[in-house]
């Protein structure tokens, strides 16, 4: 039986019960934090020989929150407020193709409420305003490294971050990014043959439409330079180009991995993406297959205006609620990072 809960639970448990248990776990974790309020700030991170990276940072604070506009969305945060707490874990978020720093805002908020600092970037050349560098996917892990360097050394509140407790969350192309950042060796030479065999696959059509002939995406091991050993844990949802890590491209990965797949994913279908990552993993990841979910259901729930503007991204399958699913999803993500990035004294208990 496919379900969206952790695989250690008996299969006979129904998804509704699983969602309730996961939500209860998130509420318990949040209740244990001294800082229920969420702060938010925007950064411009300099990059050598490139344009600055736009970054949004969510974090725990003791300040009073208010309505705050983030692009076309509204969030309840304390803008530019002081950070509360010390030795805080940091999570980096990498969005999918055509996304932005706000793509996973609800997940970022859930993490911040649980005591994490969360830095989500808008990838240069692969975002909702600019798709000129989509095919240069090997640049993405290097952008993650630039953000991490900034957060640990130059962010005004960098002293409040525990540099030994760094995690990454990635969706779709961001899932590829996260895997490369934790040591995955992507053989991008496999993209051409794969797309010749599967020309109608969405990702192959998209790459053809956004080809960068100046830097073709076919150089073997091209993403190998993105490994950042400071990252100690990863959550990956619906990873793009999963097949480029098969069969042994994840041999170096030794950090805990939580892997998500949407059962009704028509963008990155079986068996070449999440399934390929699962098979290539040396240590079995914590695996979740979400019944009834489509590819875009890992994105934050849509507003009414967004649903009218981009229905193909906001549409939900019959009987599936993205908002209800995200209660469980965010709880599982928070719980995973709580376990795998626990402070030394907590881990020793």
In a domain, 206, yes or no: no
Report the domain count for the chain: 1
pTM of the model: 0.88
User: Could you count the other beta carbons within 10 Å of the beta carbon of residue 163?
Assistant: 14
In a domain, 194, yes or no: no
In a domain, 258, yes or no: yes
Q: Which domain holds residue 33?
A: 15-187+220-341
In a domain, 208, yes or no: no
Say how far apart CA 156 and CA 45 lie, in whole Å.
12
Burial of 112 (0-12, 13-18, 19+ CB in 10 A): buried
* Domain CATH number, residue 131: 3.40.50.1820
In a domain, 303, yes or no: yes
pLDDT at 225: 65
pLDDT at 207: 85
Tell the residue number behind the tokens 């998804």, with chain if given.
15
Say how far apart CA 317 and CA 301 lie, in whole Å.
13
Given a cut of 70, the residues of the chain with pLDDT beneath it are 1-35, 212-225, 346-349
In a domain, 213, yes or no: no
Angle between helices 140-153 and 173-181 (to 10 degrees): 60
Cα distances from 4 to residues 8, 10, 33, 174, 325, in angstroms, run 11, 12, 26, 21, 9
Residue pair 290/261 in contact (Cβ under 8 Å)? The answer is yes
Say how far apart CA 131 and CA 209 lie, in whole Å.
10
Cα distances from 175 to residues 129, 299, 346, in angstroms, run 20, 13, 29
In a domain, 193, yes or no: no
Report whether the peptide linkage leading into residue 289 is cis, meaning its omega lies within 30 degrees of zero. Answer: no
In a domain, 315, yes or no: yes
pLDDT at 349: 56
Residue pair 105/81 in contact (Cβ under 8 Å)? The answer is no
Say how far apart CA 139 and CA 177 lie, in whole Å.
9
């Amino acid at each position: 039986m496919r379900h969206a809960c952790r695989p250690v639970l008996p299969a006979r448990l129904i998804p509704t019960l699983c969602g309730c248990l996961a939500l209860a776990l998130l509420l318990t974790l949040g209740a244990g934090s001294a800082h229920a309020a969420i702060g938010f700030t925007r950064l411009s991170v300099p990059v050598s020989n490139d344009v600055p990276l736009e970054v949004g940072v969510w974090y725990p604070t003791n300040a009073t929150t208010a309505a705050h506009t983030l692009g076309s969305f509204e969030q309840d945060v304390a803008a530019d407020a002081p950070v509360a707490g010390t030795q805080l874990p940091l999570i980096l978020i990498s969005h999918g193709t055509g996304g932005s720093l706000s793509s996973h805002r609800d997940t970022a908020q859930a993490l911040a409420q649980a005591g994490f600092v969360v830095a989500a970037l808008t990838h240069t050349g692969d975002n909702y305003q600019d798709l000129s560098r989509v095919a240069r996917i090997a640049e993405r892990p290097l952008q993650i490294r630039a953000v991490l360097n900034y957060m640990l050394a130059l962010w005004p509140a960098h002293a409040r971050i525990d540099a030994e407790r760094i995690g990454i969350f990635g969706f779709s192309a961001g899932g590829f990014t996260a895997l490369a950042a934790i040591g995955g060796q992507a053989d991008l030479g496999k993209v051409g043959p794969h797309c010749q065999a599967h020309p109608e696959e969405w990702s192959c059509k998209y790459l053809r439409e956004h080809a960068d002939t100046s830097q073709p995406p076919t150089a073997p091991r091209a993403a190998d330079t993105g490994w950042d050993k400071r990252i100690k844990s990863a959550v990956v949802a619906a990873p793009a180009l999963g097949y480029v890590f098969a069969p042994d491209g994840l041999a170096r990965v030794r950090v805990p991995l939580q892997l998500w797949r949407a059962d009704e994913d028509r963008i990155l279908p079986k068996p070449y993406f999440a399934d390929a990552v699962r098979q290539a993993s040396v240590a079995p990841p914590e695996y979740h297959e979400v019944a009834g979910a489509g590819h875009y259901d890992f994105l934050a729930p849509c507003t009414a205006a967004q649903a009218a503007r981009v229905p193909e991204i906001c549409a939900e399958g019959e009987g599936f609620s993205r908002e209800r699913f995200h209660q469980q999803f965010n709880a599982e993500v928070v719980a995973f990072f709580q376990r795998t990035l626990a402070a030394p004294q907590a881990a020793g208990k």
